[in-house]
Structure 1
């Protein structure tokens, strides 16, 4: 799925992050525990460099706990990275992030200077709620929709820690089509920027294979059909998502499926594993390499001209005629000057 949603304030926010980063000692990157790979902004990794980073896996109450543990082990293979898995419904646990900041910067913690941290993340991962918990007061506007925070702000958390807040930012082009679907399914992009039917079909196909029992229980089905269209038709029957004449209202049942994933009514579901995304990265690398190769061929073709033998002969004749005409004109000019 191609994601075409990159509001102007996101571009501005990315520039501001780049400007402030030299003052920052540590990054706190908030990820959606259901999609840690797809919710990790590659632009942040590039900007961060070697700075220490706490990757907070939020919404763990909605994610598969076994897969969340797998992701923690996978992410901590990266140098200077620690993970923290919790939900914003556990404020006491979330506050432990402040102690983790100090542990990761012992030299700075021992000095009189404040520890400067920056919180980053894509839209709708719980970043604003986390800020309010860490600050012990309502500072950031929260909402179950994408792009609530629009401006950067600096917050004093007390105890020698300063936090730079930034708007949730996506990146201009999501290369991995699977990530586009996952971002849409979890609500990281505005619903107006997605097609419910398209995302619903993708989600149904994945859940049939990965969480069939969750679907059976939630939609009261005796058996799970083999294909996504058959499942959506069966699910529509149990939810009254039918139109006149008994036809299935695909838009409505897809919307139901997506909303029940987001609310956790389907159960604790993760939409990706480290192994899945590693294979996807290999495929993406192949696609990008082919695109680069095709682009190079087009450039070469433009330089040399993609001529058939017939066109090539005509081109050579035109060039020969021009050269002969130029020689005649030079000869005539010399004759006049004598």
Structure 2
């Protein structure tokens, strides 16, 4: 799915992270969406903060499939210099686990003369500001249900010897895994003007029909999901149930898509996780192989063009020699 959304403040965020790394940083906390723990993990952030211990926080775990959350925690905890925790950002006591985990990842820091410097990052609309306010015990960061609320870096002193640097939510310029693009859009991490809601809703129907068919049937009173028309027929049936009709009784697919996406984002379809670690690994391999094929094709085209230009120069030189004789 083509997504064109990388606002100027995201470039500023990348620069701010580089500067923070240069100034000194001990731990990187990346807030992930527990419903899409692979798609919400920023590859650009990994390259910017390479070499620092990482704490992966699977936020909104109360909206995710518990079995899949456990699988993703195992996946991330198996990575070197990485810890992973599940969390609901609005809960105060579990949020305190983050400060403890950060201190364990950087045990030589945390004194007044050697403060623990922690960078917290995440994709837009993942609940980072809500979590920071919970950690700080006050309204230290703006919150909202739209991506891109935080615009500048903030320094927050959580407790003596513990400095937290908040950054704006950041996507990456090119989403190589197509499924990740759909999942990010479905979760609300991408601005609504950057994608087609009906297209995203159809992909969401496909995932739900495969992984959680009973949730669709129960929520919308659907008799079957595999009939003629596939995902479009299901989305049309959802539109009929939610009154998304225009004059003449036809279903307004855009409104039906909005209804489905809103229900998913609010957790009204139940606890759902859109991807497994195994699926994400396969998608990434396929994307890397496709990128390698495209790179090889570009190089072959470049070499062919170079050969053509070289041939034309030889022909021109030969023609010039003939003309001189």
Q: Same fold (TM over 0.5)?
A: yes
Q: Provide the aligned C-alpha RMSD in A.
A: 1.8
Determine the C-alpha separation between the residues in 1 that align with 2:107 and 2:281.
Answer: 34
For 1:237-252, list aligned pairs within 5 A.
237-252=240-255
Alpha-carbon distance change, 324 to 205 in structure 1, aligned in 2, over 3 angstroms: same
Determine the C-alpha separation between the residues in 2 that align with 1:222 and 1:298.
Answer: 52
Q: CA deviation at 1:100?
A: 1.5
Number of matched pairs: 322
Determine the C-alpha separation between the residues in 2 that align with 1:44 and 1:12.
Answer: 13
Determine the C-alpha separation between the residues in 1 that align with 2:51 and 2:99.
Answer: 20
Among 291, 300, 307, which residue is 1:304 paired with? 307
2:284 counterpart of 1:274: no
Q: CA deviation at 1:317?
A: 5.9
Provide TM-score, normalisation by structure 1: 0.91
Determine the C-alpha separation between the residues in 2 that align with 1:17 and 1:146.
Answer: 19
Q: CA deviation at 1:315?
A: 7.9
Q: Secondary structure at the match of 1:140?
A: coil
Determine the C-alpha separation between the residues in 1 that align with 2:315 and 2:53.
Answer: 66
Unaligned runs of 5+ in 1: 329-338
Aligned to 1:320: 318
Provide TM-score, normalisation by structure 2: 0.94
Determine the C-alpha separation between the residues in 1 that align with 2:289 and 2:98.
Answer: 39
Aligned to 1:333: none
Determine the C-alpha separation between the residues in 1 that align with 2:149 and 2:19.
Answer: 22
Aligned to 2:236: 233
2:36 counterpart of 1:63: no
Alpha-carbon distance change, 46 to 317 in structure 1, aligned in 2, over 3 angstroms: closer
Q: Secondary structure at the match of 2:37?
A: coil
Q: Over residues 251-306 of structure 1, what are the superposed CA-to-partner deviations in whole Å (9 max), with x where a residue is unaligned? A: 11111000100000011111111011111012111110111111101110111118
2:284 counterpart of 1:286: no
Q: Secondary structure at the match of 2:63?
A: coil
Determine the C-alpha separation between the residues in 1 that align with 2:314 and 2:195.
Answer: 53
Determine the C-alpha separation between the residues in 1 that align with 2:131 and 2:322.
Answer: 79
Aligned to 1:47: 48
Determine the C-alpha separation between the residues in 1 that align with 2:110 and 2:8.
Answer: 37
Determine the C-alpha separation between the residues in 2 that align with 1:316 and 1:306.
Answer: 9
Alpha-carbon distance change, 272 to 323 in structure 1, aligned in 2, over 3 angstroms: same
Computing the radius of gyration from Cα coordinates, the structure with the larger value is: 1
Q: Secondary structure at the match of 1:156?
A: strand
Determine the C-alpha separation between the residues in 2 that align with 1:180 and 1:10.
Answer: 17
Q: Secondary structure at the match of 1:108?
A: coil
Aligned to 2:116: 115
Determine the C-alpha separation between the residues in 1 that align with 2:319 and 2:308.
Answer: 20
Aligned to 2:89: 88
Determine the C-alpha separation between the residues in 2 that align with 1:138 and 1:317.
Answer: 73
Q: CA deviation at 1:111?
A: 7.7
- Stretch moving more, 201-210 or 235-244: 235-244
Q: Secondary structure at the match of 1:106?
A: coil
Determine the C-alpha separation between the residues in 2 that align with 1:243 and 1:82.
Answer: 51
Among 244, 254, 259, which residue is 2:257 paired with? 254
Q: Over residues 43-75 of structure 1, what are the superposed CA-to-partner deviations in whole Å (9 max), with x where a residue is unaligned? A: 111122221111110011111111011000001
Alpha-carbon distance change, 20 to 29 in structure 1, aligned in 2, over 3 angstroms: same
- Stretch moving more, 243-252 or 180-189: 243-252
Q: Secondary structure at the match of 2:108?
A: helix
Alpha-carbon distance change, 255 to 97 in structure 1, aligned in 2, over 3 angstroms: same
